[in-house]
Structure 1
């Protein structure tokens, strides 16, 4: 099966979050029915939390057997476990604390008060991934991976023109001196991200228009890490009108562009 990128444009952030929430709920129900369980890889950032909140508020939320869902993270801030900056804490407040989950299936990154140092934390999370990875695969089966995108094009903790975006052999890296605070982070690598069955990328706001255009134009992965993201089955970019406003029409091929009125084959 050949993977492809699709762009879905929505008029505003609210409709964008609602659509992504509905898509995630529907797909999780399908996967659990087919496989018996499902796996969701989460990220941080404003848009990601907005989507998780939309899932929490959805009338269809409890149609999902959340106890059958495993939760992983793409990246984490190297801060104490009780820090409000921690992606895990924000995800719990937005969604996980409001649904019936199996805590044994929740796999957060170690916090700065839970590991000897950041390198040890990276090794520990790589070992956690390996323990749940079948056969010769690089990572567990991720049915859906959420990603936000920075205005510089970074995804997870993979920033432009850094060694992290070029890493191919390790599952997890320690990110130090990141160009945005906090400077120290943990992140899975691009091969782990791209092992995901489906990657849902959520972009909102005019500050993302330029980087979206560059990614669609084929900018190098080192300059725009977003360019290197491609799931096994589907890679869907859910964007609002503001984020899409500066993308020239000639950079969007008809076969890779959908409006919110069109359907998405999410298999």
Structure 2
């Protein structure tokens, strides 16, 4: 048996889709009829801190793909226990200041990343371009780094999030087919979001989304820095190209990529 085949067989027995830095390639999906399961180190964020708001965009059609993404069976945030504890620490700090965290995405199965890759290669599908990448040609999404074949989200310690001023007002649901607005337009013109104004919407494929972009000033810049400094203290590091993207510095699984579905049934009992 080859090394890659042995790794694939091992991942099936473990109930996981595993990708390691050693092989650099994903193992096969779990055997037919056997969905991968999360290891004991994963939890539902709502169990660790029910005060953190959740708006799981990839469970809905309101995302750059324009449809629910593969692997999102329930609109919930799954993360490693260490990540949940760190988010809870940050949340306590935000609550004292009159804010709450809101997560857009947490653990992301490899099958969801694969969905992104298939979509990015289909240059004819630009149904959500007007909102999420109005100034970027779709054939440059790989080259410009907006889409990749692997994501740190699949390791369970990365989250996409923002902050909301309390008391939080509800955000209306997206209606498929409704007119789209540039994600970098003024907040009053963008799709409504109950979060603070950070200069762009979530998942805005634009250099304005770079955390320290000098064009972002005033209240928008202050909001980004409030998010960043508080999460830094809680043990997270920011991806400079995305103001919303944070990874726990001491990741539980720094070299492992999972593929269990986003569902409570995926969690250990």
Question: Would the TM-score normalized by the shorter structure come out above 0.5?
Answer: no
Decide which structure has the larger Cα Rg and report it: 2
Pick the structure with more helix per residue.
Answer: 1
How would you bin the TM-score normalised by the shorter chain? Answer: under 0.3
- TM-score, length-normalised on structure 2? 0.27
Pick the structure with more strand per residue.
Answer: 1
